[in-house]
């Protein structure tokens, strides 16, 4: 396959030594194996995430994304903008829709962008890395690169919210998207069916309302365990963080004994493609994925 190039929007959590540093590292490795070049948007800013709403207001939030898209259009012309973070993708795509939908919003956003010497045109698609894998490669193509199939490992594909709703991947159902399961199977792993595949992890309320949102995390992990999963896999940094980091808290609150690794799909692909534990950033897990580490040693 010919080399593919995308305009890359990593987002705040996918920076060096930020909370999804391991997502960034493994994405870079995965792209190396897939011959994808990621051209980072120069001087990108935070998308505002969903939680930015209270103080931000509609136009400032849209303007944040418009700045990223304008920079991308200017510096990485002719490419699709690709995000790895669910919230980054959602904010960008949502802003793109609002800007396309309302000429007033577009004019206002551009007035604000002018202050930073930028103009938004709206000529790039805003996509998630999962879309790139599924649509630009496809499962059959992805399967070809597998050197160390993840045989015998049972994964719970945890799609979560914002890579799934309100946009999601084309052709997928909101209630039971299957692309992540297909991806797991393509890497030689086993995707277990379980009923909390698209349950909310609590999002930002994991910080502000831990009492209320930790039940969400408990339900997700419990269902994964009950259906025999050995690891959880997700495409979203906040899902990953919430479900992994709070296991200790959840165990305290609910008397459970959870200790399940929560991985990114990019880590699975890197390992299956013959990458090292370091390339897959397996050392970035709070709960170590020993079965993947063993495969990586081969």
Partner 1 sequence: MSEKYHNNFLKEVEEMVEEGEWVKMCMQCGVCAGSCPLGPHWAHPPQEIFMMIRAGKREEVLRSDSMWMCTSCYNCVVRCPRKLPITHIMHGLANYAHRLGLSPKNQPTQQFATLFWNNLAQTGRVNELKLSLGIYFKDGFAQGVKNAMAMQSVGLGMVKAKRLNPMELFGGHGVKDKAGFHAMLKKAREIEDRRKNFA
Which residues are at the interface with partner 1 (CB under 8 A)? 12-13, 15-22, 43-46, 48-60, 62-64, 67, 108-109, 111-118, 161-162, 165-166, 174, 198-200, 202-205, 207-209, 212-213, 216, 245-246, 248-249, 283-286
Least Cβ distance, residue 92 to partner 1 (angstroms): 15
Q: Is the Cα dihedral 225, 152, 36, 39 positive or negative?
A: positive
Closest CB to partner 1 among residues 81, 198: 198
Least Cβ distance, residue 54 to partner 1 (angstroms): 4
Place of tokens 């991985």: 263
DSSP string, 63-106: HHHHHHHHHHHHHSTTS-EEESSHHHHHHHHHHHHHHHH-HHHH
Least Cβ distance, residue 251 to partner 1 (angstroms): 12
In angstroms, how far is CA 122 from the centroid of its own chain? 23
In 21-62, at which residue ranges do the beta strands (DSSP E only) sit?
A: 36-40
Least Cβ distance, residue 190 to partner 1 (angstroms): 26
> Which CA distances in Å does 195 have to 105, 156, 169, 226, 282?
40, 10, 19, 10, 27
Closest CB to partner 1 among residues 2, 54: 54
Closest CB to partner 1 among residues 101, 147: 101
Closest CB to partner 1 among residues 42, 228: 42
Closest CB to partner 1 among residues 151, 176: 176
Closest CB to partner 1 among residues 113, 271: 113
Least Cβ distance, residue 85 to partner 1 (angstroms): 11
Least Cβ distance, residue 143 to partner 1 (angstroms): 30
CA atoms lying within 13 Å on the CB side of residue 244? 24
Q: H helices of 35-57, where? A: 53-56
Question: Shortest CA distance to 28 belongs to which of 231, 297, 279?
Answer: 279
């Amino acid at each position: 396959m010919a080399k593919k190039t995308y305009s890359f929007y990593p987002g705040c959590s996918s920076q060096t030594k930020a909370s999804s540093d391991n997502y960034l590292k493994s994405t870079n490795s995965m792209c190396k194996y897939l011959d994808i070049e990621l051209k980072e948007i120069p001087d990108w800013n935070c998308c505002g995430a969903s939680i930015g709403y209270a103080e931000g207001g509609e136009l400032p939030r849209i303007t944040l994304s418009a700045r990223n898209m304008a920079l991308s259009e200017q510096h990485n012309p002719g490419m699709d903008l690709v995000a790895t973070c669910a919230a980054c993708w959602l904010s960008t795509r949502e802003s793109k829709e609002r800007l396309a939908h309302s000429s007033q919003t577009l004019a206002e956003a551009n007035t604000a962008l002018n202050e930073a010497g930028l103009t938004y045109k709206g000529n790039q698609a805003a996509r998630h890395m999962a879309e790139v894998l599924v649509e630009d490669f496809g499962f059959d193509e992805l399967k070809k690169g597998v050197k160390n199939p993840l045989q015998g490992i049972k994964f719970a594909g945890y799609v979560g919210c914002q890579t799934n709703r309100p946009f999601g991947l084309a052709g997928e159902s909101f209630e039971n998207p299957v692309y992540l399961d297909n991806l797991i199977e393509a890497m030689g792993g086993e995707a277990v069916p379980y009923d909390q595949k698209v349950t909310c992890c609590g999002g930002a309320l994991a910080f502000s309302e831990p009492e209320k949102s930790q039940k969400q995390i408990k339900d997700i992990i419990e269902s994964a365990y009950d259906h025999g999963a050995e690891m959880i896999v997700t495409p979203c940094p906040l899902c990953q963080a919430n479900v992994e980091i709070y296991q200790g808290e959840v165990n305290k609150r609910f008397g459970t004994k959870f200790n399940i690794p929560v991985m990114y799909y990019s880590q699975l692909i890197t390992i299956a493609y013959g990458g090292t534990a370091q390339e897959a950033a397996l050392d970035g897990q709070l709960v170590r994925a020993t079965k993947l580490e063993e495969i990586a040693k081969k």
